[in-house]
Structure 1
Amino acid sequence: MEKVLLYFAISLCIAATLLYLRRAFERSPVWGWMSILFPPVALIYYAVYWERSKKLACFHIVAFSVMLLSTVMAVRAHPFAFSPPLLSNLRIIFAPASYGEPLVLDEQRFPSKNDLKKFESWSGGKFGGKLAGQQMIVETVTLIDGVIRFTQGSGFFAERQVSIVLGEKSDAPRQHLLITPDAKDAPEIYLLTKNIGDELPDVDIITSGYWMDLTLERGALNAVSGHLRLLLPGSDQGFLTGYFDGFTDELRYDDGEIDRAVHSNATLEHVVSTHLKARLGDQLLAVNGFDNTKFDLNGMYPEGRSTVSFTLFGGMNRSETVMLFYSNDGWAVMEQSTSELVAAVKQMRQNPPAAGSLKEEVPLEVSVEESEQLLGKSVVVLLRGGKEREGTLQEITPFVIVIRNVIGAGHVDISIGKREVESVRLTLSKASG
């Protein structure tokens, strides 16, 4: 609009100038040439011959004023159009804020409703969207430790993943969040994308400037469901949209019971916990936690392991590394990995200590090859020939084991050749019956 007005005003001004020059040359060639060489002479001409040329003078002044006004409007509206050397002076005069290199602001773009409808039609109503310019179909949804994750792919690194840090906002049975681009307390969003051939994924963090409409509702057991519409800023026009169902942990249920066929650390830990409760009975006070839980599906027979910490009757804390295997019924504990523990607890149950007396508990004794499970614990090293060395098992190398004894504010490390070791026994505290 500003350009059209400018062109119109220039046309009027040119027409008025040509009419003036015609009048000036008719009056005298001197007036005409002076007006061409020095245009302000026109003001003197109009002043001298005002009565005869006042209509033309008014038309000329109005045309020039309109051209000046339209020039100012055009420069302010389109400063880039006045970049050539001759026109840059106009920009400096009428648009000083755009002096030098004009400021360029990237236009913030969000996906349109049409983009979302196209995806819904393409995906057949599945939950997903577009991330990093690629279509995304969400395969798993988890809400764990206040972070809801929408994931595509089942590898160690997901192909694509959107993680929204909800924090305490996810604790309510039902929650609705509406986030606008100008919200100050917007949850952080982590975008993970891994292209074929890349060893590590790319991670982007968005802290604000996005649209999100999220509804969460917790269901029975560990189920969670809801609806999400997430519009991400930027030229990629990323988004997620649709209804979803997910879980609050890695356990899966079948007819109300935990499905032991699911490959997850949580499944293995549940199997170990159930096994200890069944084998130890009332001698087991509590299962305190798990460490180093992992499973391997690459071999011919899938295997797993987990180190469990628990408390036995009498307040004795123990930790055991339990081995697991996978069968047609799912994950199960290898009985031999807990046989010594079960036997020791069974003996304690059959021969409980007398009241008020002290009785040394049955210690765990292993060969030097199996002594890694006792690292960091107080042990007695039984040497060939009947000698013993007591201390904390500090290190195990291919040829020696190292035990440490604390002396005052310092310590002494003792290296013992593996060939000299008969066995390694865990030192257990004495408990009163």
Structure 2
Amino acid sequence: MAALLILGGLLLILSGLVWLVMRAFATSLLWGWTSLLPPLALLYVLQHWRSARQAVGLSALGLIPLIVGLTLLASQDSQRLEAILSLQWLKTEAQSPADLAIELRGELHGQPFTPQQGELIGGVLSLREGGDFFARREIVIRLVEPVDGVVRLDVLPDDVGPLPEVEVSWLLPEQDLPEARRLARGYTLHLNLTPLPPNKLAGDFHLVLPAKFKTTLSGKVELFSDGLRYHEGKVDRHVDSADTLAFIIKDYLQRRFVSRRVQLNELPPFTLPANSIELQIEAMIGGQLQKLPVLLNKSEADGWIVQGDRFAALPDITDTPAPDLSQAPNSTAEEQSRERVRRPLDRRLRFSLEALLRNPSRYQNLAMRVSTVRGSNAEGRFQGVDQDGRIVIRQRLSGQGAASYNLIPEEVSRIELLEP
């Protein structure tokens, strides 16, 4: 109803303006051309009111349904009204970034699927369409184990044993939360990805789900293999990601201690986005464990930097001593430590409320149990964090029903992750 009132009002206003121009041309050719410019059309109205008053009255009449329609829309859907008034509908749809060449043909849930983002990190492949908090459409494939290097995988509907888990989700215009479906088997999947320096995987992607899911995709994809982003061949320090901060801290330690033998341990928890982050880090430097405080600041010009970093770049050749057998155990220990860092852990082991708020996408659609300080409990699947910072838990009821719980983090006394 609101849309019809707004459209009707605009049509009446436009009709009045066209009628006004016609009256101006009927008066004289000069007035006709002059009235095509809105400021000068007002001059014609003042000079020839008797001729222009009917056209002006029609345009004024159109203001009534326009104002009523906008008022109704504001009461029903204020966000939609804000989007209309801000002219967001004039902006072109975001296309795939120039640094990701994704050429997929097919559909997801019966709709064309054109992802703008793709990554394969920690054994989880994701293709995402839309830049909002909840993706408009998304495919997530959780591999059986992490991969390093070339990825070749073929799955057929009749295959048994440990198989990757496929999850598809979509967000309809009238929905606040996306719908998701998971499959453990019964699908067709083909991956043939090869590393593409500095941090990408590129190759063939082919996925066919059972007919009821209306999802068939085939083509070429490019995926990021970590959280780093590059600009003109260098790491973009403006990107908010854990990998960006780890890269900056490692580079800082290498230059500070004039050694390339720096192995940074996992960073402590922190929250992004932010303008300043203080961390207590641990790193193996020259075979010795060091614990150091670092303060990172972000500026528009330089991006993320370590405060007090005035150390010069490393020379071209450093840390090339002759082989020393006594250092072999230390090297082996460093390699084992590196492997432990790369090996994915059960997400339940380090799960906490802080970890959930810091990286909610990592726990999307996983089963959780939440207890509040008031003694109430909620159990269901995690749907994300809304714009007000509330934790959204969705619980399926009997039949086709579902219930959503929006929980303020300050009221949560205990939260448990029920699956890895």
- Same-fold status (TM-score > 0.5): no
TM-score, normalised relative to structure 1: 0.42
TM-score by length of 2: 0.43
Q: Mark the structure with the bigger radius of gyration.
A: 1
